[in-house]
Chain A
Amino acid sequence: MSETLIPGGNTLAVPAAPPAETRVMRMRNFWSDYRRSWVAIAALIVIVALIVGSFGAPWLVPQDPYDLANLDWLDAFLPPGTEGSGGYVHILGTDNAGRDMLSAILYGLRTSFVIGISAGALALTVGITIGLTAAYFGGRIEAFLMRIVDLQLSMPAILLALVMVAMLGQGVAQIILALVVAQYAYFARTTHGAASVERRKDYIEAARSTPLPTRRIMFKHLLPNVLPPLIVVATVQVASAISLEATLSFLGVGLPLTEPSLGTLISNGFKYIHAGRPWLSIYPGLFLMVTVVAINLVGDQVRTVIDPRNSR
């Protein structure tokens, strides 16, 4: 019978798969989805500008505001836009020590970014390890770890951070440690949620029955598949670490006055807010707000783009 279709033989006519999708193509797709919101693009531009501005501050601004040799008492409390003794315009004015506010804010922002990003990254690492371990092993280990995390999530992060700072003392490293303790639980919870779902999928079972070593399954198989939602949490947590640090410094338990920080700047200017010099508090506050909002907007858009329900 001539109608019979091509018989047996397994290597026959398997069609070519679509061209290999490269990392570049994935990035391009991601970007084409990301840029559909102009707000998100604006937020991204703001963040990039702030990062460049703060880390490039030593080369960009005329004054190192924390080098006492550069300060002149005569320049104290200059309103924004006044030219000072250094022969340049203080765009955002000066403070009680004659510090250029713009320079101080950019230096402070740099500290904020360093603290926010390193606290976020460390908390992410700790949280992932705890969340993955709990989800992978299950049973009593899971119950124990996740109850601790739940307990901690039921307390306000600021309270925990305060207690930690009180115990550890002031300083950048201490603040970072306090923030990690206060924030790792969010990462642990998110990781645990995502990993518990992935854990039940067949590819994990296949890896276990091969068998592959536990560490490899956890970090090569589970982790890459729970990472996308964590990236979103991480962005939001960096923003919240930045504002937590500012809060602690504002309360006077964060960084010492000698260290540049948005929180100390706001706190310092707060004394003069009713003395006709509101810019001392308002400008650092504005920078803090813009930074936090911009990071959150970017995080939101990333969440929208990577959500499979929104894929087209």
Chain B
Amino acid sequence: MTAALEVRGLTTRFETRGGDVTAVNNVSFSVEKGRILGLVGESGSGKSVTGFSILGLIDPPGEVCAGEVLVDGNDLRKLSDEDMRKMRGNRVAMVFQDPMMTLNPVLRVGDQMAMAVRVHRKMSKAEAWEESRKALDTVGIPSPEERLRAYPHQLSGGMRQRVAIAMALLHSPAVIIADEATTALDVSIQGQILAEVRDLADRTGAAIVWITHDLAVVSSLADDICVMYAGRIVERGTAEQVIGQPRHPYTKGLLDSIPARHEPGTPLPQIPGSTPQLSRLPSGCPFRPRCPRATEVCATEPPVVTVDGQTVLCHHPLERT
């Protein structure tokens, strides 16, 4: 089975006063049809920049300087600006943390959705409107006709995010990239949307990249998980592997620091230090200064270790038990 989205060796740099910074460093992964890939990382890990890089949305002083992004076998990076625009919103769609990045505040929901439909397909306004209604239905919005006639500000935050997801779905894209799409929402609303996203992937066969900082969300939503640290993917595997048997010390540290896994009131195991600044990374493994397993060899580039499809970028991966 071929992957709906395949990313190979993606590298993005930003030019800053303190010199060049590699925000995304040689990132590779693939997502098959109907599967959800969770891209997890803390602030500054490069997870959002990865999403923007895939869609060619990096502006100077940033630049995607290496790698391939294959959708249906076509390399997006080789497309002209015009072809890329056609691709975005059609075959590849994005959902942002703030739905107002997608929604136009002065247009009714139905008008802007119909407009989005007619950008890529020739049809009458009424047909486009009907198409939009169906899309709202797909994401479980009650009384969609009413919502189509509303302006974005008349909807609640959760409803707006659902409309944004529905807009991403309009052209049944092969790939959807969602960046912290439920982070700003309440848990009960987040639960509703996550359930619908899971259902969507199963029904429409879209490949979804779910970018988030929340391990709990990816662990219950994603099929596969990539853990990012300082611009690199340090661990990649199925959700069961990464959550159940983390092999990178960083992944292990993250999972251990979750309060729910410990007796109330007891000290939490913590990763010492703070999240790294990309402009001042150590040589070799970037996690080295915070890692309990680090030795002298970690000052050299860590090797890629793969066992049973679970890939770790580490000199001293944890043993599988």
Q: How near does chain A come to B246, taking the closest CB pair, in angstroms?
A: 9
- Cβ contacts A159-179/B at 8 Å (1 or 0 each): 000000000000000000000
- Cβ contacts A77-115/B at 8 Å (1 or 0 each): 000000000000000000000000000000000000000
Question: What is the CA–CA distance of A5 and B270 in the complex, to the nearest angstrom?
Answer: 6
List residues of chain B with CB within 8 A of the CB of A312. 15-17, 61
Question: What is the CA–CA distance of A312 and B62 in the complex, to the nearest angstrom?
Answer: 11
Contact in complex: B292, A6 (CB < 8 Å): yes
Given the interface pairs A13-B272, A312-B17, the reply to whether A5 lies near B253 with Cβ below 8 Å is yes
Minimal Cβ-Cβ distance residue in A for B272: A13
Given the interface pairs A5-B292, A6-B292, A312-B16, the reply to whether A15 lies near B252 with Cβ below 8 Å is no
List residues of chain B with CB within 8 A of the CB of A37. none
List residues of chain B with CB within 8 A of the CB of A211. none
Contact in complex: A15, B269 (CB < 8 Å): no
Interface positions, chain A 7-65, Cβ under 8 Å from B, are 7-9, 12-15, 18, 29
Contact-residue bracket for chain B = 20 to 34
Q: How near does chain B come to A90, taking the closest CB pair, in angstroms?
A: 51
List residues of chain A with CB within 8 A of the CB of B249. 3, 5
Q: Which one of A3, A4, A7, A14 lies within 8 Å of B273 (CB-CB)?
A: A14
List residues of chain A with CB within 8 A of the CB of B318. 3
Given the interface pairs A312-B16, A312-B61, the reply to whether A5 lies near B271 with Cβ below 8 Å is yes
Q: Which one of B15, B252, B270, B274 lies within 8 Å of A6 (CB-CB)?
A: B270
Q: Which one of A3, A7, A8, A13 lies within 8 Å of B252 (CB-CB)?
A: A3
List residues of chain B with CB within 8 A of the CB of A15. 273-274, 289
Contact in complex: A4, B256 (CB < 8 Å): yes
Q: How near does chain B come to A137, taking the closest CB pair, in angstroms?
A: 30
Q: How near does chain B come to A112, taking the closest CB pair, in angstroms?
A: 38
Most interface-central of B16, B269, B280 (chain A CB within 10 A): B269
Question: What is the CA–CA distance of A183 and B137 in the complex, to the nearest angstrom?
Answer: 58
Contact in complex: B274, A5 (CB < 8 Å): no
Contact in complex: A5, B267 (CB < 8 Å): no
Minimal Cβ-Cβ distance residue in B for A15: B273
Interface positions, chain B 233-278, Cβ under 8 Å from A, are 249, 252-253, 256-257, 267-274
Contact in complex: A5, B16 (CB < 8 Å): no
List residues of chain B with CB within 8 A of the CB of A13. 272-273, 290
List residues of chain A with CB within 8 A of the CB of B280. 18
Q: Which one of A3, A9, A14 lies within 8 Å of B267 (CB-CB)?
A: A9
Contact in complex: A12, B61 (CB < 8 Å): no
Q: How near does chain A come to B123, taking the closest CB pair, in angstroms?
A: 40
Q: How near does chain A come to B229, taking the closest CB pair, in angstroms?
A: 14
Minimal Cβ-Cβ distance residue in A for B279: A18
Given the interface pairs A15-B274, A312-B16, A312-B17, the reply to whether A4 lies near B289 with Cβ below 8 Å is no
Q: How near does chain B come to A32, taking the closest CB pair, in angstroms?
A: 8
Q: How near does chain A come to B62, taking the closest CB pair, in angstroms?
A: 12
Contact in complex: A7, B272 (CB < 8 Å): no
Contact in complex: A8, B289 (CB < 8 Å): no
Contact in complex: B256, A5 (CB < 8 Å): yes
Question: What is the CA–CA distance of A8 and B259 in the complex, to the nearest angstrom?
Answer: 12
- Cβ contacts A284-312/B at 8 Å (1 or 0 each): 00000000000000000000000000001
Contact in complex: B61, A6 (CB < 8 Å): no
- Cβ contacts B279-314/A at 8 Å (1 or 0 each): 010000000011010000000000000000000000
Q: How near does chain B come to A25, taking the closest CB pair, in angstroms?
A: 12
Given the interface pairs A3-B252, A5-B256, the reply to whether A12 lies near B17 with Cβ below 8 Å is no
Contact in complex: A12, B272 (CB < 8 Å): yes
Question: What is the CA–CA distance of A192 and B30 in the complex, to the nearest angstrom?
Answer: 52
Question: What is the CA–CA distance of A312 and B280 in the complex, to the nearest angstrom?
Answer: 16
Question: What is the CA–CA distance of A289 and B182 in the complex, to the nearest angstrom?
Answer: 57
Minimal Cβ-Cβ distance residue in A for B247: A3
List residues of chain A with CB within 8 A of the CB of B269. 4-8
Given contact pairs A3-B249, A4-B269, enumerate 7 new A-B contacts (beta carbons under 8 Å).
Answer: A5-B253, A5-B270, A7-B269, A9-B267, A12-B270, A13-B272, A14-B274
Q: List 25 A-B contacts (CB under 8 A).
A: A3-B249, A4-B269, A5-B249, A5-B252, A5-B256, A5-B257, A5-B269, A5-B270, A5-B271, A5-B292, A6-B270, A6-B271, A7-B270, A8-B268, A9-B267, A12-B272, A13-B272, A14-B272, A14-B273, A14-B274, A15-B273, A29-B17, A312-B15, A312-B17, A312-B61
Report the 8 A-B pairs with minimum CB-CB distance, sorted nearest first: A8-B267, A13-B272, A5-B253, A312-B17, A15-B273, A5-B269, A7-B269, A4-B269
